Structure 1
Amino acid sequence: MVDPDVLRKIVVRRAELDVLEEQLVKQLDQVRTEQEELAVAERVLARMAEQFAAAEAASAAPAEVQVAGRAVLLIPHRGPGMAQDVLPPDYQRILAVVRDAGGPVSTRRVGEELGLEVAVRGKLEPLRGKLSKLAGRGWLRKLPDGRFTTRL
């Protein structure tokens, strides 16, 4: 004969395990749902990172645009770790002259180093524009007196 206390304990324990099973099934569903959401989030972040890298690479490379039917090279904004070789050769020469000067340098002095006719003001204005563009894009620093120096 089976002891009624033992039988009652078995029934109670079975009921406890049924409740626990329901809780675990719910928990497992929640875990699987969250795993699926995280997988989607990872894919979205990977896609965004690819798009960001592509956009950054496109902005780092000099872009050409058409102005009055001529291709004009744009000067990119200087970013962290960006080398000066993204600039056109004439802008690279300008940077080299300013860097080699060892201190603030005037447009006239840069023009002299580049072999321009500095006596003719019209020959210096395009150079002043290039120096100002380099300063505006973070490649050089323009001082209040109009001279230019390298960025630290």
Structure 2
Amino acid sequence: MLDPEVLERITARRAELDDLEAQLTEQLSAVRSEGDELSFAERVLERVSEEIAGERASVSPAPGHVAGRTVMLVPHRGPEIQEAMLPPDYQRILSIVRQAGGPVTARQVGETLGWPSA
């Protein structure tokens, strides 16, 4: 004959395990859901990063040719074009003009940059 106390303990333990299983199932579902959200966020981030890189590449300065010489083409200025997107020499020119505090000639800028003048 089975001991009633042992049966009671088995039943109590079975109930504990069923509760633990329900908790773990709920936690596993939450973990999987968050993992899915992170995967989605990563895909969105990759897509947006690619779009931004494409936009930057389309507005970044590119070499061109004028009168047989290679020159750096400057993108048209607009609210989306930032000074940092300009070639370094152009950034230096802007800095010189700002520091002058008034009108400057191309010759003055060239001399400040150490470029030969005619």
Structure 1 segments, 4+ long, off by >6 Å, are: none
- The aligned residue for residue 33 of structure 1 is 33
- The aligned residue for residue 74 of structure 2 is 75
1:4, distance to aligned residue in structure 2 (A): 1.3
Alignment CA distance shift 1:139-1:54 (3 Å): farther
What is the percentage of aligned positions where both structures have the same residue? 40
Once the two structures are superposed, what CA deviation does each residue of 1:35-84 show, in whole Å capped at 9, x if it has no partner? 1111100000000110011111111135xxxxxxxxxx96235527x755
Equivalent residue in structure 2 for 1:144, among 89, 101, 104: 101
- The aligned residue for residue 11 of structure 1 is 11
Q: What TM-score comes out, normalization by structure 1 length? A: 0.50
Matched letter for residue 37 of structure 1: E
Is residue 45 from structure 1 mapped to residue 45 from structure 2 by the alignment? Answer: yes
- The aligned residue for residue 21 of structure 1 is 21
Q: What TM-score comes out, normalization by structure 2 length? A: 0.62
Match of 1:79, SS state, is: helix
Match of 1:36, SS state, is: helix
Q: What is the aligned-residue RMSD (CA, Å)?
A: 2.8
Instruction: Give the count of matched residue pairs.
Output: 90
Runs (5+) with no aligned partner, structure 1: 63-72, 85-94, 96-133
Matched letter for residue 19 of structure 2: V
- The aligned residue for residue 54 of structure 1 is 54
Match of 2:52, SS state, is: helix
Matched letter for residue 75 of structure 1: V
CA distance in 1, matches of 2:101, 2:83: 21
